[in-house]
Amino acid sequence: MKQTIKYLILALLIPAAYCFTACDTDIEPIDQQIIKPDQQDPAQYAAYLAALKAYKASEHYVVYASLANAPAVPGSEKAFLRSLPDSLDIVALENAGNLTEYDIEDIPQAQAKGTKILYTVDYNTLAESTDAAALGTYLDKVIEVVNRYKFDGVTVRYGGAMDAAATQAAATIVSKLSSLTGKILMAEGNPLFIAKENHSAVTYFVLTTTDAVNTFNIRSQLAYATDYAGIALEKIIITAEPGGKLTDENLVQQPAIAEAAKSVITMGPLAGLGIYNIGDDYYDAYINYKQTKHAIGLLNPANPK
């Protein structure tokens, strides 16, 4: 009897032991080695970079993006330079005065692909904007950061009305930033912000057409910029953003980025297309930055994206 009980207990314990083993949910670290594209096939990657740089150095429509870098709490790759499409020509960092270690690491990698990285000066929100001396001090700091981290230039935003203070500020900004020889200078927003005599110092003028309802609105803004502000058509970049809609000339509502890309060609030729809030285009079930990449393909079908 005792022998029978002993065998019975043993028979019950063996499955229990397997059960406890199967229920072991302890997480064990697994060594992973991340192999980047340049390490997988260095020769092929070098050829890709050469083709990419040759494309960006050729005559083509510029595609510019504004990136909300350095968020307080990064939630995904959409806030990082390294995840942007390689074929972007220019990227402006909205928080360039607050670079993270990742930004500092990503800037030269993006530049190695021929992408120009700009420092964003938002005159709309500058606390120093009404004080000429403070504005000069602020711009000196901008120049120092641009040189330290080897930015390719600066973009200046202002969408307000032109008064005496704004006119003086614009003159100060152009005077100060013109000391950055060999760098890009862009002006965004009000086409009248930069005086005509200083237009030669500006590489591109970016019109804020993100609030346009239809393509007629874009034509009207272009006419104002060229006929009234005196800006050369070939220096103008029009803008759109993910999720936006534009009604085309056939009164059909279209995705704003794609329709704006078509307008760059049909209403110009213009310098190119700007995409605001590009991080909002990051997510897609099949491909990241789907709208951006589609627009690049519309403007420059032969690009090696």
Give yes or no for residue 3 having a pLDDT over 60. no
Name the residue with higher pLDDT: 91 or 23: 91
Average pLDDT of the residues in 90-105: 96
Give yes or no for residue 34 having a pLDDT over 70. no
pTM of the model: 0.86
Tens of pLDDT, residue by residue over 62-83, are 999 999 998 877 778 888 999 9
Q: Using an 8 Å Cβ cutoff, are 174 and 193 in contact?
A: no
Give yes or no for residue 21 having a pLDDT over 70. no
Class (C level, CATH) for 61-299: alpha beta
Name the residue with higher pLDDT: 179 or 7: 179
Average pLDDT of the residues in 283-292: 92
**Peptide bond just before 108 cis, omega within 30 deg:** no
Side-chain half-sphere of 7: how many Cα atoms within 13 Å?
A: 3
Q: What is the DSSP string of 150-187?
A: T--EEEEEE-S---HHHHHHHHHHHHHHTTSTT-EEEE
Name the residue with higher pLDDT: 294 or 128: 294
- pLDDT given at position 75: 72
Q: In this structure, what token pair is assigned to residue 276? A: 């605001």
Q: Using an 8 Å Cβ cutoff, are 59 and 81 in contact?
A: no
Q: Using an 8 Å Cβ cutoff, are 185 and 177 in contact?
A: yes
Give yes or no for residue 142 having a pLDDT over 80. yes
Give yes or no for residue 291 having a pLDDT over 90. yes
Tell me which amino acid residue 274 is: G
Average pLDDT of the residues in 85-96: 97
Give yes or no for residue 26 having a pLDDT over 90. no
Element (H, E) at 137: helix 132-148
- pLDDT given at position 23: 52
- pLDDT given at position 45: 92
State CA 19 to chain mean position distance: 53
Closest CA to 224 of 186, 262, 274, 190: 190
- pLDDT given at position 72: 73
- pLDDT given at position 187: 98
- pLDDT given at position 303: 62
Name the residue with higher pLDDT: 19 or 45: 45
- pLDDT given at position 226: 98
Tens of pLDDT, residue by residue over 179-231, are 999 999 999 999 999 999 999 999 999 999 999 999 999 999 999 999 999 99
Give yes or no for residue 305 having a pLDDT over 80. no
Q: In this structure, what token pair is assigned to residue 88? A: 């972007």
- pLDDT given at position 62: 98
Q: Which pLDDT band holds residue 14 (cuts at 50, 70, 90)?
A: low
Give yes or no for residue 252 having a pLDDT over 90. yes
- pLDDT given at position 17: 53
- pLDDT given at position 74: 73
Give yes or no for residue 128 having a pLDDT over 90. no
Q: How many residues does the chain have?
A: 305
